[in-house]
């Protein structure tokens, strides 16, 4: 994960106001609405505080899982598609996508 997600409130562009280190916190700000998030994440993990969206991830994963019941393919293809959808939903829920 190497870029900041859009603002969770207005979908605006987010940027680092400050990247933290051992002494200072990381601050991310939305350029549109001014929403700010301060966290103790530093270095390559600086993105984690802002980008971590467990509720959003769960909603997306649930939507994929809900669609699984409507998948209909022939033979082995259906098994592969269902398996891929389940793996996709798991990754969504873990925030890996
Ligand atoms: Zn915003």
For 21-72, the pLDDT digits (tens) are: 889 999 999 999 999 999 999 888 888 889 988 999 999 999 999 998 888 8
Give me the sheet containing 36-39, strands edge to edge. 14-18, 26-30, 36-39
Q: State both tokens at 10.
A: 């207005």
- Model confidence band, residue 1 (pLDDT cutoffs 50, 70, 90): very low
- Ligand 1 center to 79 CA (angstroms): 41
- Ligand 1 center to 51 CA (angstroms): 13
CA distance 81 to 64: 12
**What pTM does this model have?**
0.68
CA distance 10 to 17: 18
Closest to 88 measured CA to CA, from 1, 66, 74: 66
- Ligand 1 center to 24 CA (angstroms): 23
- Ligand 1 center to 95 CA (angstroms): 20
Return left, alpha or beta for 28; rule: phi > 0 is left, psi -120 to 50 is alpha, else beta: beta
């Amino acid at each position: 994960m190497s870029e900041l997600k859009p603002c969770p409130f207005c979908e605006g562009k987010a940027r680092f106001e400050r990247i933290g280190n051992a002494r200072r916190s990381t601050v991310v700000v939305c350029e549109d609405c001014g929403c700010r998030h301060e966290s103790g994440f530093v270095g390559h993990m600086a993105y984690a505080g802002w980008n971590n969206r467990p509720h959003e991830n769960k909603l997306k994963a649930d939507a994929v899982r809900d669609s699984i019941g409507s998948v209909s393919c022939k033979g082995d293809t259906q098994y592969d598609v269902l398996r891929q959808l389940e793996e996709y939903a798991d990754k969504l829920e873990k925030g890996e996508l």
